[in-house]
Amino acid sequence: MKSKFRQVALIGKYQTPASGASGATSRHALETIADFLQTQGCAVVLEQDTAHNMGISAYPVLTVPAIGAQCDLGLVVGGDGTMLGIGRQLAHYGVPLIGINQGRLGFITDIPFGSYAATLAPMLRGEFEEDHRSLMRARVMRDGECVFDTLAMNDVVVNRAATAGMVELRVEVDGHFVANQRADGLIIATPTGSTAYALSAGGPLLHPSIPGWVLVPIAPHTLSNRPIVLANAAEIVIEMVAGREASANFDMQSLASLLHGDRIVVTRSKHHVRFLHPKGWSYFDTLRRKLHWNEGVA
C-alpha cells in the first residue's frame, strides 16, 4: 500500500555541523530515513538549513515556507528543541509533523531512531493518532511600541540574570490585577511546556487536551505564591516593576534584557501544531517512560 503522504520534508538539527561525530551520526540518520521514505513511495525533500549543515545534496532542497506550501508531512529528526523550532514556523501552514528522537528526553519527538522503520511504515499508510498542540503569541511592549513579537510552543519565561537579585513583576489577567511577585522569575507554560522548565520549578503537568496555561513563579520570595492554572483564552500581562538584568525567553528565542516598565503580553495564537503519533499512542505512556514512573515496581 502506497504512502498517504506524497511529499515528505526531512528536518534535522540546524546547529549541528556535519564535520563532528554528532554531525556524522545525524547525517547518517537523515540519509537512512530518506532512503526508507523513498521505498515507501514518498518524494523526499530536505529543509534548506538541514541540507546545508549536513552537506547532503542528493535531494531537492526547500525553505521552510516552501515546505509549508508544498509538503504533506514534516519528519523531524533530532530532539524536542528541533521540533519546537520547526513547529512554530510550520504551524500556520497546517503541515503535520512526526518526531524521530535523537535527543535526550523526547517528549514531542517520541519515536526512537532504532525503531523508526517499523513505526513509520503503518503511519505513512494512514495509521496514526493526531494530536494538536496550542501555541502562545508573546509580545514585548515598550513605551507603547512592540519591540518583540513571536510564537512559543513551550513557555514564556521572565527571569533574572545569574548574578542579579530578585525581580519584581506585576501580573495581570484579562486586565485584572493578580499580584506583584518578587521572585527569580516567572513562567507561563502551555500543556506542552508543562513538562519542561515549569515542571522543574514545581508546576503541575497539564494534559495536552486541556485549554489552559500554567503560571509558575521561580523561587518566589513569598512561599504562598503558588502555581496557578489559567484558561488559555485569557490575556496575561507581566510588567517589569523592579530588578536589574532580567531577560525574557520564548522557547529558544530570547530578548536579552528587559527595562523597567516593559510589558510582556501573552495571548493564545490562532494557530496550533499538528503532531502525528503511532496508532495506540498515549500521553500517559510518554510520561511513564520519560519520567521513569513505576521503576522498581514488580
Distance in angstroms between the alpha carbons of the first and the last residue of the chain: 41
Beta-carbon count within 10 A of 139 CB: 16
For residue 21 the three cell numbers come to 561525530
For residue 3 the three cell numbers come to 504512502
Residues in the chain: 298
Task: Please identify every residue annotated as catalytic.
Answer: 80
Is the CB of residue 194 less than 8 Å from the CB of residue 203? Answer: yes
Give CA 293 to chain center in angstroms.
Answer: 23
Is the CB of residue 204 less than 8 Å from the CB of residue 229? Answer: yes
Interior angle at CA 158, CA 157 and CA 162, nearest 5: 110
Q: DSSP labels for 83-117? A: HHHHHHHHGGGT--EEEEE-SSS-SSS-EEGGGHH
**What ranges in the chain are assigned the alpha helix state H?**
21-39, 48-54, 64-70, 80-90, 116-124, 197-200, 283-290
